[in-house]
């Protein structure tokens, strides 16, 4: 396997995988850890979701896989794949993803600030009556690429995990969005220290701040002075009107000094009218370090949906919640590999048509040799 003259993503991945620290006793090792990492990666791209499916994929395509993997004792059993994959240091996989994403995002010259949405998702299949399921906080950009993640440790929560996640990312010049749980003074301080901006949701966990901001926007005389934007979309018999208000007038806000870099507050109102004329209205409030600029504020608020869409793909495209891997590190390592696989699927075209991610996986699974060669040459 000589990749010395090839400068491809796969060469970098194979080179990196070969550096993994294997703590097993060398004399007892039948299957290389590097081979198992790459087998899981290839199988996942080819629509395999559980350990048995990965073993089946490996045995059906062993000849092809030997072009890239050593496999000195053939394809391991599904039990061995799971056991060894659980031994792979999660930091090792996180670091590879970080390196690759930095290469993917080398766009310092962009004039438009990049959005980075942060939110958590629970691996429901990992939980039992005696074990709390893994909860993982992810950072997803507006193109739908996951740039990093952090597992929430036992007896802690997202409030501690988010700063740790931010510490491992280059967020300079980005706009960070979170749900209300991430609206914490310590998280805001971390974002500003790393020279990024924020648009953070307000809910009951910030009761006094929420009360003050909502009271301000309830006054028509103040609302009329705000920057304003409206969009209307119609689909499937429904009309959705989105309205945005933003103001730099925060001299009245008693808590403003507690929030590093706070410059504006934002109100959004979504009005949905159904086929039968039924109307629903939802209002949400945000604090932000962005200066007045309603277009960018609206883009940041609207853009937070991308992380929810990403989590939807983990469950629908990769069937994450149906995977009942109980060992916590193995389950977390699978989450990292799913995200790496999803990033790859977003970069490639499979066949002549524009396929969904789910259908791309299906197509790769029908002819892995053909489609994985395309990925290998990325």
CATH number of the domain that 250 lies in? Answer: 2.20.130.10
Note the pLDDT of residue 27: 83
The answer to whether residue 97 sits within a structural domain is yes
Instruction: Indicate the range of 182-191, 247-256, 341-350 predicted with least confidence.
Output: 341-350
Select, from the ranges 11-25, 71-85, 348-362, the one with the highest average predicted confidence (pLDDT).
71-85
Q: Does one domain contain both 228 and 206? A: yes
Indicate whether 36 belongs to any domain: yes
Neighbours of 228 (CB within 10 A): 14
- Total domains in the chain come to 3
pLDDT at 112: 61
Q: Are residues 129 and 277 in the same domain?
A: no
> For residue 10, what are its two tokens?
């796969």
Which structure tokens are listed for 28? 């007892």
Query: Do 225 and 162 share a structural domain?
Result: no
pLDDT reported for residue 106: 57
Domain holding 331, by residue range, is 89-179+304-347
Q: What is the pLDDT of residues 115-124, one digit of tens each?
A: 999 999 999 9
117 and 37: one domain? no
Domain closes at, from 255, 274, 297: 297
**CA-to-CA dists, residue 22 to 135, 219, 310, angstroms:** 26, 63, 32
47 found inside a domain:
yes
Question: Is residue 75 located within the same domain as residue 220?
Answer: no
Same domain, 38 and 126: no
**Are 318 and 292 members of one domain?**
no
pLDDT at 223 exceeding the cut of 70: yes
Contact between 93 and 148 (Cβ < 8 Å):
no
Residue with the bigger pLDDT between 349 and 262: it is 262
Q: Using an 8 Å Cβ cutoff, are 266 and 246 in contact? A: yes
Of the listed ranges 107-111, 126-130, 148-152, 193-197, the one predicted with least confidence: 107-111
Tell me, yes or no, whether 149 and 292 share the same domain: no
Domain contains 81: yes
- Tokens 């103040």 -> residue: 222
Is position 193 within any domain? no
Residues 117 and 93 reside in one and the same domain:
yes
Q: Is residue 361 part of a domain?
A: no
Q: Is residue 22 in a domain?
A: yes
Residues forming beta bridges with residue 177, ordered by sequence position: 117, 199
Percentage of the chain lying above the pLDDT 90 cut: 70
Q: Establish if 187 belongs to a structural domain.
A: no
Which positions ≥6 away from 330 have C-beta within 8 Å? 82, 85, 86
pLDDT above 70 coverage of the chain, percent: 94
Could you tell me if 43 and 72 lie in one domain? yes
């Amino acid at each position: 396997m000589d990749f010395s003259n090839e400068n491809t993503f796969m060469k970098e991945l194979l080179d990196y995988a070969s550096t993994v620290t294997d703590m097993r006793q060398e004399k007892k090792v039948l299957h290389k850890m590097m081979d198992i990492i790459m087998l899981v990666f290839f199988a996942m791209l080819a629509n395999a979701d559980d350990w048995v499916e990965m073993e089946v994929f490996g045995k059906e395509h062993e000849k092809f896989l030997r072009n890239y993997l050593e496999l000195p004792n053939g394809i391991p059993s599904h039990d061995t794949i799971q056991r060894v994959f659980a031994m792979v240091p999660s930091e090792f996989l996180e670091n590879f993803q970080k390196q690759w994403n930095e290469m993917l995002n080398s766009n310092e010259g962009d004039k438009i600030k990049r959005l980075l949405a942060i939110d958590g998702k629970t691996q429901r299949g990992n939980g039992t009556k005696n074990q709390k399921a893994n909860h993982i906080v992810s950072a997803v950009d507006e193109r739908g690429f996951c740039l990093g993640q952090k597992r929430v440790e036992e007896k802690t929560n997202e409030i501690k995990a988010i700063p740790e996640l931010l510490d491992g990312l280059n967020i300079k010049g980005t706009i960070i969005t979170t749900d209300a749980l991430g609206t914490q003074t310590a998280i805001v301080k971390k974002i500003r220290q790393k020279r990024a901006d924020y648009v953070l949701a307000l809910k009951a966990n910030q009761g006094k701040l929420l009360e003050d901001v909502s009271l301000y926007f309830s006054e028509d005389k103040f609302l009329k002075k705000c920057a304003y934007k409206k969009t209307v979309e119609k689909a499937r018999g429904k009309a959705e009107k989105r309205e945005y208000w933003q103001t730099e007038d925060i001299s009245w806000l008693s808590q403003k000094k507690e929030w590093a870099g706070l410059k504006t507050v934002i109100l959004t109102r979504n009005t949905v009218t159904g086929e039968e004329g039924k109307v629903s209205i939802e209002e949400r409030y945000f604090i932000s370090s962005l200066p007045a600029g309603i277009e960018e504020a609206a883009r940041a608020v609207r853009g937070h949906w991308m992380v929810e869409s990403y989590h939807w793909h983990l469950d629908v495209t990769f069937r994450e919640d149906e995977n009942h891997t109980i060992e916590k590190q193995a389950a977390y390592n699978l989450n990292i590999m799913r995200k790496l696989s999803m990033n790859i699927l977003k970069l490639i075209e499979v066949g002549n048509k524009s396929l969904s991610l789910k259908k791309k996986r299906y197509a790769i699974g029908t002819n892995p040799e053909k489609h994985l060669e395309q990925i290998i040459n990325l």
